[in-house]
Structure 1
Protein backbone atom coordinates (compact mmCIF):
# COMPACT_ATOMS: atom_id res chain seq x y z
CA UNK A 1 0.00 0.00 0.00
CA UNK A 2 1.03 3.62 -0.50
CA UNK A 3 2.99 5.08 2.41
CA UNK A 4 1.26 8.48 2.47
CA UNK A 5 -2.50 8.59 2.72
CA UNK A 6 -4.47 11.07 0.64
CA UNK A 7 -8.15 12.10 0.96
CA UNK A 8 -10.19 8.95 0.35
CA UNK A 9 -13.42 8.60 -1.62
CA UNK A 10 -15.34 5.34 -1.19
CA UNK A 11 -17.78 3.40 -3.31
CA UNK A 12 -21.26 3.68 -1.76
CA UNK A 13 -22.97 0.65 -0.27
CA UNK A 14 -26.61 0.65 -1.39
CA UNK A 15 -29.43 -1.16 0.38
CA UNK A 16 -32.92 -1.57 -0.95
CA UNK A 17 -35.75 -0.99 1.51
CA UNK A 18 -39.54 -1.33 1.22
CA UNK A 19 -39.86 2.17 2.69
CA UNK A 20 -37.56 3.87 0.14
CA UNK A 21 -38.82 7.30 -0.87
CA UNK A 22 -37.51 7.78 -4.42
CA UNK A 23 -35.75 11.10 -3.69
CA UNK A 24 -32.20 9.83 -3.55
CA UNK A 25 -31.45 9.63 -7.28
CA UNK A 26 -32.36 13.26 -7.98
CA UNK A 27 -30.30 14.43 -5.01
CA UNK A 28 -27.30 12.52 -6.39
CA UNK A 29 -27.76 14.16 -9.79
CA UNK A 30 -29.06 11.01 -11.46
CA UNK A 31 -32.24 10.40 -13.44
CA UNK A 32 -35.14 10.78 -11.03
CA UNK A 33 -36.45 7.31 -11.92
CA UNK A 34 -33.19 5.62 -10.90
CA UNK A 35 -32.82 3.87 -7.54
CA UNK A 36 -36.55 3.86 -6.63
CA UNK A 37 -35.99 1.13 -4.01
CA UNK A 38 -32.74 2.41 -2.45
CA UNK A 39 -33.55 3.50 1.08
CA UNK A 40 -30.01 3.47 2.50
CA UNK A 41 -26.89 4.86 0.80
CA UNK A 42 -23.89 4.13 2.98
CA UNK A 43 -21.11 6.62 2.34
CA UNK A 44 -18.81 5.21 5.02
CA UNK A 45 -19.05 1.93 6.93
CA UNK A 46 -16.73 -0.55 8.63
CA UNK A 47 -19.04 -3.26 9.95
CA UNK A 48 -17.89 -6.85 9.55
CA UNK A 49 -18.46 -7.93 5.96
CA UNK A 50 -20.18 -4.65 5.10
CA UNK A 51 -17.27 -2.49 4.05
CA UNK A 52 -16.58 0.79 2.32
CA UNK A 53 -14.07 0.26 -0.49
CA UNK A 54 -11.75 2.96 -1.83
CA UNK A 55 -13.07 4.02 -5.24
CA UNK A 56 -10.01 5.61 -6.88
CA UNK A 57 -6.31 6.28 -6.56
CA UNK A 58 -3.41 4.01 -5.54
CA UNK A 59 -5.53 2.41 -2.79
CA UNK A 60 -8.45 1.57 -5.07
CA UNK A 61 -10.17 -1.65 -3.98
CA UNK A 62 -8.85 -1.54 -0.41
CA UNK A 63 -11.51 -1.85 2.30
CA UNK A 64 -11.87 0.56 5.17
CA UNK A 65 -11.09 -2.27 7.60
CA UNK A 66 -7.79 -2.96 5.81
CA UNK A 67 -6.91 0.73 5.97
CA UNK A 68 -7.63 0.88 9.70
CA UNK A 69 -5.32 -2.09 10.29
CA UNK A 70 -2.46 -0.89 8.08
CA UNK A 71 -2.61 2.91 8.61
CA UNK A 72 -4.23 3.19 12.03
CA UNK A 73 -2.67 6.39 13.34
CA UNK A 74 -2.24 8.09 9.96
CA UNK A 75 -5.90 7.52 9.11
CA UNK A 76 -7.79 7.90 12.39
CA UNK A 77 -5.43 9.82 14.67
CA UNK A 78 -3.40 9.21 17.79
CA UNK A 79 -6.30 7.83 19.84
CA UNK A 80 -6.90 4.73 17.75
CA UNK A 81 -6.50 0.97 17.71
CA UNK A 82 -5.94 -1.30 14.69
CA UNK A 83 -8.26 -3.90 16.21
CA UNK A 84 -11.25 -1.55 16.50
CA UNK A 85 -13.50 -0.59 13.58
CA UNK A 86 -13.47 2.91 12.14
CA UNK A 87 -15.15 5.02 14.88
CA UNK A 88 -17.96 6.56 12.79
CA UNK A 89 -20.28 5.63 9.95
CA UNK A 90 -22.42 7.76 7.63
CA UNK A 91 -25.36 7.18 5.32
CA UNK A 92 -28.25 8.82 3.47
CA UNK A 93 -31.78 7.72 4.43
CA UNK A 94 -34.68 8.19 2.00
CA UNK A 95 -38.01 7.48 3.68
CA UNK A 96 -41.47 7.12 2.14
CA UNK A 97 -42.90 5.71 5.38
CA UNK A 98 -42.64 6.61 9.05
CA UNK A 99 -39.82 4.77 10.81
CA UNK A 100 -40.32 2.92 14.14
CA UNK A 101 -40.10 4.82 17.41
CA UNK A 102 -36.73 3.70 18.74
CA UNK A 103 -34.13 4.34 21.43
CA UNK A 104 -30.48 3.41 21.96
CA UNK A 105 -29.53 2.06 25.41
CA UNK A 106 -26.95 3.91 27.49
CA UNK A 107 -24.10 1.42 27.69
CA UNK A 108 -23.67 -1.88 25.87
CA UNK A 109 -26.13 -4.60 26.88
CA UNK A 110 -26.14 -8.33 26.20
CA UNK A 111 -29.30 -10.02 24.93
CA UNK A 112 -30.19 -13.46 23.56
CA UNK A 113 -29.53 -12.06 20.08
CA UNK A 114 -26.10 -10.66 21.00
CA UNK A 115 -24.74 -7.37 22.31
CA UNK A 116 -26.78 -4.18 21.79
CA UNK A 117 -24.33 -1.28 21.71
CA UNK A 118 -24.95 2.26 22.77
CA UNK A 119 -24.94 4.83 19.99
CA UNK A 120 -25.19 8.57 19.40
CA UNK A 121 -26.75 9.74 16.15
CA UNK A 122 -26.78 13.02 14.26
CA UNK A 123 -29.37 13.82 11.59
CA UNK A 124 -29.10 16.60 9.00
CA UNK A 125 -32.22 17.16 6.89
CA UNK A 126 -31.49 17.43 3.17
CA UNK A 127 -35.00 17.40 1.72
CA UNK A 128 -38.51 17.20 3.15
CA UNK A 129 -41.91 16.75 1.55
CA UNK A 130 -44.75 19.06 2.64
CA UNK A 131 -46.06 17.89 5.99
CA UNK A 132 -43.04 15.70 6.77
CA UNK A 133 -42.01 15.51 10.42
CA UNK A 134 -39.17 14.35 12.67
CA UNK A 135 -39.66 13.01 16.20
CA UNK A 136 -36.87 13.40 18.77
CA UNK A 137 -37.55 13.30 22.51
CA UNK A 138 -40.56 13.77 24.78
CA UNK A 139 -42.72 16.91 24.68
CA UNK A 140 -41.94 19.46 27.39
CA UNK A 141 -45.37 19.38 29.07
CA UNK A 142 -45.59 15.58 29.26
CA UNK A 143 -44.67 13.38 32.23
CA UNK A 144 -42.76 10.14 31.99
CA UNK A 145 -45.71 8.27 33.46
CA UNK A 146 -47.95 9.56 30.67
CA UNK A 147 -45.55 8.17 28.09
CA UNK A 148 -45.41 4.75 29.76
CA UNK A 149 -49.19 4.64 30.03
CA UNK A 150 -49.65 5.46 26.33
CA UNK A 151 -47.01 3.14 24.85
CA UNK A 152 -49.60 1.01 23.06
CA UNK A 153 -52.10 3.78 22.36
CA UNK A 154 -52.61 5.64 19.06
CA UNK A 155 -52.07 8.95 20.86
CA UNK A 156 -48.46 8.27 21.85
CA UNK A 157 -46.92 10.42 19.05
CA UNK A 158 -48.78 13.45 20.43
CA UNK A 159 -46.78 13.12 23.67
CA UNK A 160 -43.46 13.28 21.85
CA UNK A 161 -41.45 16.20 20.49
CA UNK A 162 -42.50 16.11 16.85
CA UNK A 163 -41.39 19.01 14.64
CA UNK A 164 -41.96 19.95 11.00
CA UNK A 165 -39.07 18.75 8.85
CA UNK A 166 -37.14 21.67 7.37
CA UNK A 167 -34.07 21.20 5.15
CA UNK A 168 -30.96 22.43 6.92
CA UNK A 169 -32.23 21.61 10.41
CA UNK A 170 -30.25 19.05 12.39
CA UNK A 171 -30.79 16.81 15.42
CA UNK A 172 -28.34 15.35 17.93
CA UNK A 173 -29.72 12.11 19.38
CA UNK A 174 -27.90 10.68 22.42
CA UNK A 175 -28.61 7.30 23.97
CA UNK A 176 -31.92 7.16 25.83
CA UNK A 177 -33.77 9.58 23.54
CA UNK A 178 -36.79 8.28 21.61
CA UNK A 179 -36.58 9.14 17.92
CA UNK A 180 -38.12 8.49 14.51
CA UNK A 181 -37.77 9.86 10.97
CA UNK A 182 -41.15 10.54 9.40
CA UNK A 183 -42.24 9.78 5.85
CA UNK A 184 -41.08 12.12 3.09
CA UNK A 185 -37.58 12.90 4.39
CA UNK A 186 -34.11 12.64 2.89
CA UNK A 187 -31.65 12.64 5.80
CA UNK A 188 -27.90 12.47 6.27
CA UNK A 189 -27.09 10.38 9.33
CA UNK A 190 -23.84 10.16 11.27
CA UNK A 191 -23.47 7.53 13.99
CA UNK A 192 -20.87 5.97 16.25
CA UNK A 193 -21.62 2.51 14.87
CA UNK A 194 -23.98 0.61 12.61
CA UNK A 195 -26.07 -0.89 15.38
CA UNK A 196 -29.85 -0.57 15.14
CA UNK A 197 -31.63 0.91 18.14
CA UNK A 198 -34.23 -0.93 20.21
CA UNK A 199 -37.74 -0.39 18.90
CA UNK A 200 -40.27 1.00 21.32
CA UNK A 201 -43.07 0.35 18.86
CA UNK A 202 -43.56 -0.03 15.13
CA UNK A 203 -44.27 3.02 12.99
CA UNK A 204 -48.03 2.43 12.86
CA UNK A 205 -48.26 1.06 16.41
CA UNK A 206 -49.87 -2.17 15.19
CA UNK A 207 -46.87 -4.36 14.40
CA UNK A 208 -45.25 -6.65 16.93
CA UNK A 209 -41.90 -5.85 18.56
CA UNK A 210 -40.12 -8.78 20.29
CA UNK A 211 -40.76 -8.50 24.06
CA UNK A 212 -37.07 -8.47 24.99
CA UNK A 213 -36.36 -5.65 22.54
CA UNK A 214 -39.39 -3.69 23.73
CA UNK A 215 -38.42 -4.12 27.40
CA UNK A 216 -34.89 -2.93 26.70
CA UNK A 217 -36.23 0.13 24.89
CA UNK A 218 -38.50 1.00 27.82
CA UNK A 219 -35.65 0.62 30.32
CA UNK A 220 -33.39 2.78 28.16
CA UNK A 221 -35.85 5.68 27.85
CA UNK A 222 -34.71 8.91 29.51
CA UNK A 223 -38.14 9.86 30.78
CA UNK A 224 -36.90 12.94 32.65
CA UNK A 225 -35.08 14.56 29.71
CA UNK A 226 -36.82 17.51 28.04
CA UNK A 227 -33.76 19.03 26.38
CA UNK A 228 -34.39 20.43 22.91
CA UNK A 229 -32.21 18.44 20.52
CA UNK A 230 -33.22 20.28 17.36
CA UNK A 231 -30.53 22.48 15.81
CA UNK A 232 -32.36 25.01 13.68
CA UNK A 233 -30.73 26.22 10.49
CA UNK A 234 -29.23 29.68 10.71
CA UNK A 235 -31.11 31.75 8.13
CA UNK A 236 -28.94 34.86 7.86
CA UNK A 237 -28.33 35.87 4.25
CA UNK A 238 -24.53 35.75 4.36
CA UNK A 239 -22.66 35.91 1.05
CA UNK A 240 -19.20 35.04 2.37
CA UNK A 241 -17.71 31.70 3.37
CA UNK A 242 -18.46 30.78 6.96
CA UNK A 243 -18.26 27.80 9.28
CA UNK A 244 -21.07 27.13 11.77
CA UNK A 245 -20.52 24.71 14.66
CA UNK A 246 -23.57 22.44 15.01
CA UNK A 247 -22.55 20.13 17.87
CA UNK A 248 -20.26 22.10 20.22
CA UNK A 249 -20.82 19.87 23.27
CA UNK A 250 -20.99 16.36 21.83
CA UNK A 251 -18.21 14.15 23.29
CA UNK A 252 -18.25 11.67 20.39
CA UNK A 253 -17.95 13.86 17.28
CA UNK A 254 -18.07 17.48 16.16
CA UNK A 255 -20.08 18.56 13.12
CA UNK A 256 -19.60 21.90 11.37
CA UNK A 257 -21.70 23.28 8.53
CA UNK A 258 -19.59 25.13 5.96
CA UNK A 259 -21.30 27.56 3.59
CA UNK A 260 -18.84 28.04 0.79
CA UNK A 261 -18.73 31.06 -1.52
CA UNK A 262 -15.07 30.83 -2.55
CA UNK A 263 -12.77 28.57 -0.54
CA UNK A 264 -11.78 27.58 2.97
CA UNK A 265 -8.37 26.41 4.21
CA UNK A 266 -8.43 23.52 6.68
CA UNK A 267 -5.84 21.37 8.42
CA UNK A 268 -5.59 18.04 10.18
CA UNK A 269 -3.12 17.92 13.06
CA UNK A 270 -2.70 14.20 13.63
CA UNK A 271 -5.36 14.11 16.36
CA UNK A 272 -8.34 13.27 14.14
CA UNK A 273 -9.44 12.59 10.59
CA UNK A 274 -11.94 14.90 8.88
CA UNK A 275 -15.06 13.65 7.10
CA UNK A 276 -16.39 15.98 4.42
CA UNK A 277 -19.81 15.42 2.85
CA UNK A 278 -21.38 17.76 0.30
CA UNK A 279 -25.03 18.67 0.83
CA UNK A 280 -25.36 21.22 -2.01
CA UNK A 281 -23.26 22.17 -5.02
CA UNK A 282 -19.86 20.83 -6.07
CA UNK A 283 -16.49 21.36 -4.38
CA UNK A 284 -12.85 20.59 -5.10
CA UNK A 285 -10.58 19.37 -2.32
CA UNK A 286 -6.96 20.28 -3.00
CA UNK A 287 -3.84 19.17 -1.15
CA UNK A 288 -0.14 19.26 -1.94
CA UNK A 289 -0.07 16.14 -4.11
CA UNK A 290 -3.49 16.22 -5.76
CA UNK A 291 -7.15 17.15 -5.91
CA UNK A 292 -10.55 15.48 -5.65
CA UNK A 293 -13.95 16.76 -6.78
CA UNK A 294 -17.10 16.01 -4.78
CA UNK A 295 -20.76 16.60 -5.66
CA UNK A 296 -23.91 16.45 -3.54
CA UNK A 297 -24.11 13.12 -1.71
CA UNK A 298 -20.38 12.41 -1.90
CA UNK A 299 -18.18 11.94 1.16
CA UNK A 300 -14.43 11.79 1.56
CA UNK A 301 -12.23 10.99 4.52
CA UNK A 302 -9.26 13.30 5.04
CA UNK A 303 -6.60 11.33 6.95
CA UNK A 304 -5.43 12.65 10.30
CA UNK A 305 -1.86 12.85 8.99
CA UNK A 306 -2.59 14.88 5.83
CA UNK A 307 -2.03 18.39 7.22
CA UNK A 308 -3.11 21.44 5.21
CA UNK A 309 -5.73 21.26 2.47
CA UNK A 310 -8.23 23.57 0.80
CA UNK A 311 -11.89 23.18 -0.18
CA UNK A 312 -13.06 25.43 -3.03
CA UNK A 313 -16.28 25.92 -4.99
CA UNK A 314 -16.46 24.62 -8.56
CA UNK A 315 -19.55 26.09 -10.24
CA UNK A 316 -21.06 28.37 -7.63
CA UNK A 317 -21.83 28.39 -3.90
CA UNK A 318 -21.83 25.06 -2.09
CA UNK A 319 -22.58 23.64 1.34
CA UNK A 320 -20.84 20.82 3.12
CA UNK A 321 -20.56 19.26 6.55
CA UNK A 322 -17.23 18.58 8.24
CA UNK A 323 -16.91 15.97 10.97
CA UNK A 324 -13.99 15.60 13.39
CA UNK A 325 -13.46 13.89 16.72
CA UNK A 326 -13.07 16.08 19.82
CA UNK A 327 -9.58 16.54 21.18
CA UNK A 328 -8.98 14.70 24.45
CA UNK A 329 -5.78 15.80 26.24
Structure 2
Protein backbone atom coordinates (compact mmCIF):
# COMPACT_ATOMS: atom_id res chain seq x y z
CA UNK A 1 0.00 0.00 0.00
CA UNK A 2 1.01 3.62 -0.48
CA UNK A 3 1.30 4.19 3.27
CA UNK A 4 0.49 1.95 6.20
CA UNK A 5 1.35 2.13 9.91
CA UNK A 6 0.53 0.30 13.13
CA UNK A 7 1.07 2.38 16.27
CA UNK A 8 0.47 2.19 20.02
CA UNK A 9 0.23 5.23 22.27
CA UNK A 10 0.06 6.24 25.91
CA UNK A 11 -1.34 9.69 25.19
CA UNK A 12 -4.53 10.67 23.33
CA UNK A 13 -2.97 13.87 21.98
CA UNK A 14 -0.13 12.03 20.24
CA UNK A 15 -2.71 9.53 18.98
CA UNK A 16 -4.91 12.28 17.52
CA UNK A 17 -1.97 14.04 15.86
CA UNK A 18 -0.90 10.78 14.18
CA UNK A 19 -4.20 10.29 12.32
CA UNK A 20 -3.39 11.38 8.77
CA UNK A 21 -5.18 14.43 7.31
CA UNK A 22 -7.51 14.99 10.27
CA UNK A 23 -7.41 18.31 12.15
CA UNK A 24 -8.74 17.39 15.58
CA UNK A 25 -8.23 17.44 19.32
CA UNK A 26 -8.90 14.47 21.59
CA UNK A 27 -9.68 15.23 25.23
CA UNK A 28 -9.41 12.45 27.80
CA UNK A 29 -12.34 12.56 30.24
CA UNK A 30 -11.74 9.53 32.48
CA UNK A 31 -8.83 9.24 34.90
CA UNK A 32 -5.84 6.95 34.43
CA UNK A 33 -3.09 5.98 32.03
CA UNK A 34 -4.01 5.90 28.37
CA UNK A 35 -3.47 2.88 26.16
CA UNK A 36 -4.50 3.16 22.54
CA UNK A 37 -3.84 1.62 19.16
CA UNK A 38 -4.02 3.04 15.66
CA UNK A 39 -3.72 1.10 12.42
CA UNK A 40 -3.97 3.08 9.20
CA UNK A 41 -3.34 2.77 5.51
CA UNK A 42 -3.90 5.06 2.56
CA UNK A 43 -4.05 4.91 -1.21
CA UNK A 44 -4.60 7.64 -3.79
CA UNK A 45 -8.35 7.46 -3.22
CA UNK A 46 -8.96 6.31 0.35
CA UNK A 47 -7.59 6.56 3.88
CA UNK A 48 -8.64 3.87 6.37
CA UNK A 49 -7.82 3.68 10.05
CA UNK A 50 -8.85 1.49 12.95
CA UNK A 51 -8.50 2.95 16.43
CA UNK A 52 -9.19 1.88 19.98
CA UNK A 53 -8.72 3.92 23.17
CA UNK A 54 -9.15 2.62 26.71
CA UNK A 55 -10.36 5.98 28.07
CA UNK A 56 -13.52 7.98 27.44
CA UNK A 57 -12.60 10.68 24.92
CA UNK A 58 -14.35 13.61 23.28
CA UNK A 59 -13.13 14.32 19.75
CA UNK A 60 -13.50 17.84 18.32
CA UNK A 61 -12.21 19.01 14.97
CA UNK A 62 -12.80 19.42 11.25
CA UNK A 63 -13.12 16.60 8.72
CA UNK A 64 -10.55 16.60 5.89
CA UNK A 65 -11.60 18.90 3.06
CA UNK A 66 -12.53 17.41 -0.29
CA UNK A 67 -13.43 14.07 1.31
CA UNK A 68 -16.41 11.89 2.17
CA UNK A 69 -15.86 10.48 5.66
CA UNK A 70 -17.51 7.36 7.06
CA UNK A 71 -17.00 5.51 10.33
CA UNK A 72 -18.17 2.10 11.48
CA UNK A 73 -18.31 1.29 15.23
CA UNK A 74 -16.70 -2.07 15.98
CA UNK A 75 -17.22 -2.28 19.75
CA UNK A 76 -19.48 0.15 21.63
CA UNK A 77 -19.17 -0.37 25.41
CA UNK A 78 -21.00 2.81 26.38
CA UNK A 79 -22.99 5.87 25.30
CA UNK A 80 -22.02 7.32 21.90
CA UNK A 81 -22.92 10.78 20.62
CA UNK A 82 -22.03 11.90 17.11
CA UNK A 83 -22.89 15.49 16.17
CA UNK A 84 -25.36 15.54 19.05
CA UNK A 85 -27.16 12.40 17.90
CA UNK A 86 -27.33 9.30 20.04
CA UNK A 87 -25.89 6.31 18.20
CA UNK A 88 -25.56 2.56 18.68
CA UNK A 89 -23.53 -0.29 17.19
CA UNK A 90 -25.78 -0.40 14.11
CA UNK A 91 -25.19 3.24 13.20
CA UNK A 92 -23.03 4.42 10.32
CA UNK A 93 -21.36 7.80 10.92
CA UNK A 94 -20.84 10.30 8.12
CA UNK A 95 -19.17 13.69 7.71
CA UNK A 96 -18.69 15.90 4.67
CA UNK A 97 -15.18 17.22 4.12
CA UNK A 98 -14.59 20.49 5.97
CA UNK A 99 -17.44 19.86 8.42
CA UNK A 100 -16.82 20.61 12.10
CA UNK A 101 -17.60 17.69 14.36
CA UNK A 102 -17.84 16.59 17.98
CA UNK A 103 -17.84 12.91 18.85
CA UNK A 104 -18.18 11.38 22.32
CA UNK A 105 -16.29 8.08 22.39
CA UNK A 106 -16.86 5.75 25.39
CA UNK A 107 -14.10 3.86 27.20
CA UNK A 108 -12.69 1.00 25.16
CA UNK A 109 -14.57 1.84 21.97
CA UNK A 110 -13.11 0.60 18.70
CA UNK A 111 -13.86 2.35 15.42
CA UNK A 112 -13.12 1.81 11.72
CA UNK A 113 -12.93 5.07 9.74
CA UNK A 114 -13.01 5.16 5.93
CA UNK A 115 -12.40 8.45 4.11
CA UNK A 116 -12.78 8.66 0.33
CA UNK A 117 -11.73 11.34 -2.10
CA UNK A 118 -15.02 13.09 -2.87
CA UNK A 119 -14.75 12.60 -6.65
CA UNK A 120 -14.09 8.86 -6.29
CA UNK A 121 -17.11 8.34 -4.03
CA UNK A 122 -19.46 10.52 -6.10
CA UNK A 123 -18.51 8.72 -9.31
CA UNK A 124 -19.30 5.37 -7.71
CA UNK A 125 -22.55 6.69 -6.21
CA UNK A 126 -23.69 8.04 -9.59
CA UNK A 127 -23.61 4.50 -10.98
CA UNK A 128 -26.22 3.28 -8.47
CA UNK A 129 -29.97 3.43 -8.97
CA UNK A 130 -30.47 5.25 -5.66
CA UNK A 131 -27.99 8.12 -6.13
CA UNK A 132 -30.48 10.92 -5.35
CA UNK A 133 -31.94 9.17 -2.30
CA UNK A 134 -28.48 8.38 -0.91
CA UNK A 135 -27.34 11.97 -1.45
CA UNK A 136 -30.28 13.13 0.70
CA UNK A 137 -29.49 10.46 3.28
CA UNK A 138 -25.91 11.75 3.52
CA UNK A 139 -27.20 14.96 5.06
CA UNK A 140 -27.41 12.92 8.26
CA UNK A 141 -24.32 12.40 10.47
CA UNK A 142 -25.82 9.23 11.99
CA UNK A 143 -27.41 6.74 9.60
CA UNK A 144 -29.26 3.79 11.09
CA UNK A 145 -29.34 0.57 9.10
CA UNK A 146 -30.62 -2.93 9.83
CA UNK A 147 -28.56 -4.61 12.56
CA UNK A 148 -27.98 -7.94 10.74
CA UNK A 149 -27.00 -6.18 7.51
CA UNK A 150 -24.69 -3.83 9.36
CA UNK A 151 -23.02 -6.69 11.25
CA UNK A 152 -22.32 -8.51 7.97
CA UNK A 153 -20.88 -5.38 6.34
CA UNK A 154 -18.73 -4.63 9.38
CA UNK A 155 -17.27 -8.13 9.34
CA UNK A 156 -16.40 -7.87 5.65
CA UNK A 157 -14.96 -4.36 5.98
CA UNK A 158 -12.69 -5.49 8.80
CA UNK A 159 -11.56 -8.49 6.74
CA UNK A 160 -10.79 -6.24 3.75
CA UNK A 161 -8.78 -3.89 5.96
CA UNK A 162 -6.87 -6.70 7.68
CA UNK A 163 -5.90 -8.33 4.37
CA UNK A 164 -4.69 -5.00 3.01
CA UNK A 165 -2.50 -4.41 6.08
CA UNK A 166 -0.62 -7.71 5.84
CA UNK A 167 0.29 -7.43 2.13
CA UNK A 168 3.99 -6.98 1.52
CA UNK A 169 5.23 -4.39 -0.95
CA UNK A 170 5.37 -5.55 -4.56
CA UNK A 171 6.35 -3.70 -7.73
CA UNK A 172 4.54 -0.40 -8.30
CA UNK A 173 2.19 -1.79 -10.99
CA UNK A 174 0.92 -4.64 -8.83
CA UNK A 175 0.74 -2.33 -5.83
CA UNK A 176 -1.58 0.10 -7.64
CA UNK A 177 -3.75 -2.81 -8.75
CA UNK A 178 -4.17 -3.81 -5.10
CA UNK A 179 -4.98 -0.23 -4.14
CA UNK A 180 -7.71 -0.03 -6.79
CA UNK A 181 -9.14 -3.34 -5.64
CA UNK A 182 -9.17 -2.10 -2.03
CA UNK A 183 -10.90 1.15 -2.96
CA UNK A 184 -13.58 -0.67 -4.97
CA UNK A 185 -14.17 -3.25 -2.23
CA UNK A 186 -14.66 -0.55 0.43
CA UNK A 187 -16.88 1.53 -1.86
CA UNK A 188 -18.95 -1.54 -2.68
CA UNK A 189 -19.63 -2.44 0.95
CA UNK A 190 -20.63 1.09 1.98
CA UNK A 191 -22.80 1.69 -1.07
CA UNK A 192 -24.58 -1.63 -0.47
CA UNK A 193 -25.38 -0.48 3.05
CA UNK A 194 -26.68 2.90 1.91
CA UNK A 195 -28.74 1.55 -0.99
CA UNK A 196 -30.12 -1.45 0.90
CA UNK A 197 -33.97 -1.50 0.83
CA UNK A 198 -33.98 -1.97 4.62
CA UNK A 199 -32.22 1.38 5.06
CA UNK A 200 -34.78 4.15 5.51
CA UNK A 201 -33.75 6.85 3.02
CA UNK A 202 -36.06 9.40 4.67
CA UNK A 203 -34.64 9.12 8.19
CA UNK A 204 -34.06 12.36 10.06
CA UNK A 205 -32.46 12.46 13.48
CA UNK A 206 -32.28 15.81 15.23
CA UNK A 207 -29.53 16.82 17.62
CA UNK A 208 -30.72 16.49 21.21
CA UNK A 209 -31.07 19.44 23.59
CA UNK A 210 -28.79 17.66 26.07
CA UNK A 211 -26.04 17.31 23.47
CA UNK A 212 -26.43 20.96 22.50
CA UNK A 213 -25.94 22.01 26.13
CA UNK A 214 -22.78 19.89 26.51
CA UNK A 215 -21.29 21.04 23.22
CA UNK A 216 -22.03 24.71 23.95
CA UNK A 217 -20.36 24.41 27.36
CA UNK A 218 -17.39 22.61 25.78
CA UNK A 219 -16.84 25.45 23.32
CA UNK A 220 -17.11 28.08 26.04
CA UNK A 221 -14.50 26.24 28.11
CA UNK A 222 -12.06 26.19 25.20
CA UNK A 223 -12.63 29.76 23.97
CA UNK A 224 -12.84 31.56 27.32
CA UNK A 225 -9.82 29.79 28.76
CA UNK A 226 -8.55 32.38 31.22
CA UNK A 227 -11.93 33.47 32.61
CA UNK A 228 -13.75 30.13 32.53
CA UNK A 229 -17.48 30.44 33.31
CA UNK A 230 -18.70 28.62 36.41
CA UNK A 231 -21.50 26.06 36.12
CA UNK A 232 -23.94 28.65 37.52
CA UNK A 233 -22.79 31.21 34.91
CA UNK A 234 -23.22 28.60 32.17
CA UNK A 235 -26.77 27.95 33.34
CA UNK A 236 -27.49 31.68 33.18
CA UNK A 237 -26.01 32.02 29.69
CA UNK A 238 -27.93 29.04 28.35
CA UNK A 239 -31.07 30.00 30.30
CA UNK A 240 -31.52 26.51 31.70
CA UNK A 241 -31.62 25.14 35.23
CA UNK A 242 -28.63 23.63 37.01
CA UNK A 243 -30.51 20.33 37.12
CA UNK A 244 -30.92 20.38 33.34
CA UNK A 245 -27.20 20.98 32.87
CA UNK A 246 -26.33 18.22 35.35
CA UNK A 247 -28.63 15.73 33.62
CA UNK A 248 -27.28 16.71 30.20
CA UNK A 249 -23.68 15.94 31.17
CA UNK A 250 -24.66 12.70 32.87
CA UNK A 251 -26.55 11.55 29.78
CA UNK A 252 -24.03 12.60 27.14
CA UNK A 253 -20.64 12.26 28.88
CA UNK A 254 -21.41 10.14 31.94
CA UNK A 255 -19.87 12.70 34.31
CA UNK A 256 -20.65 16.00 36.03
CA UNK A 257 -20.35 19.42 34.36
CA UNK A 258 -17.55 20.36 36.76
CA UNK A 259 -15.50 17.24 36.04
CA UNK A 260 -16.07 17.49 32.28
CA UNK A 261 -15.09 21.13 31.93
CA UNK A 262 -12.08 20.75 34.22
CA UNK A 263 -10.93 17.73 32.20
CA UNK A 264 -11.26 19.61 28.91
CA UNK A 265 -9.16 22.46 30.32
CA UNK A 266 -6.55 20.06 31.74
CA UNK A 267 -6.29 18.52 28.28
CA UNK A 268 -5.76 22.01 26.91
CA UNK A 269 -2.84 22.53 29.31
CA UNK A 270 -1.39 19.15 28.31
CA UNK A 271 -1.53 20.04 24.59
CA UNK A 272 0.10 23.39 25.36
CA UNK A 273 2.90 21.76 27.35
CA UNK A 274 3.55 19.14 24.68
CA UNK A 275 3.70 21.74 21.90
CA UNK A 276 6.09 24.19 23.61
CA UNK A 277 9.70 23.86 24.84
CA UNK A 278 10.11 24.10 28.62
CA UNK A 279 12.49 27.05 28.15
CA UNK A 280 9.78 28.98 26.28
CA UNK A 281 6.83 28.44 28.61
CA UNK A 282 6.69 27.46 32.26
CA UNK A 283 4.18 24.97 33.62
CA UNK A 284 2.62 27.71 35.73
CA UNK A 285 2.15 30.00 32.74
CA UNK A 286 0.67 27.16 30.65
CA UNK A 287 -1.76 26.36 33.47
CA UNK A 288 -2.72 30.03 33.82
CA UNK A 289 -3.55 30.20 30.11
CA UNK A 290 -6.31 27.66 30.84
CA UNK A 291 -7.58 29.28 34.03
CA UNK A 292 -5.60 27.29 36.63
CA UNK A 293 -3.96 29.70 39.05
CA UNK A 294 -3.26 27.52 42.10
CA UNK A 295 -0.29 25.46 40.97
CA UNK A 296 -0.44 22.80 43.68
CA UNK A 297 -4.17 22.18 43.11
CA UNK A 298 -3.60 22.13 39.37
CA UNK A 299 -0.74 19.62 39.64
CA UNK A 300 -2.86 17.28 41.78
CA UNK A 301 -5.81 17.43 39.36
CA UNK A 302 -3.49 16.94 36.37
CA UNK A 303 -1.88 13.89 37.98
CA UNK A 304 -5.26 12.41 38.86
CA UNK A 305 -6.48 12.66 35.26
CA UNK A 306 -3.33 11.68 33.34
CA UNK A 307 -1.53 9.52 35.94
CA UNK A 308 1.56 11.73 35.73
CA UNK A 309 2.69 15.08 37.09
CA UNK A 310 2.83 18.01 34.64
CA UNK A 311 6.59 18.15 35.24
CA UNK A 312 6.85 14.64 33.74
CA UNK A 313 4.97 15.52 30.54
CA UNK A 314 7.21 15.45 27.48
CA UNK A 315 7.85 18.95 26.13
CA UNK A 316 8.56 19.98 22.53
CA UNK A 317 12.14 20.19 21.40
CA UNK A 318 13.67 23.56 20.48
CA UNK A 319 13.88 23.90 16.72
CA UNK A 320 15.90 26.22 14.51
CA UNK A 321 19.49 27.30 14.69
CA UNK A 322 21.49 26.51 17.80
CA UNK A 323 21.94 29.48 20.08
CA UNK A 324 25.40 30.81 20.80
TM-score, normalised on structure 2? Answer: 0.34
Structure whose CA Rg is larger: 2
Counting strand residues as a fraction of each chain, which structure ranks higher? 1
TM-score, normalised on structure 1? Answer: 0.34
- Relative contact order higher in (CA < 8 Å, ≥ 6 apart): 1
Counting helix residues as a fraction of each chain, which structure ranks higher? 2
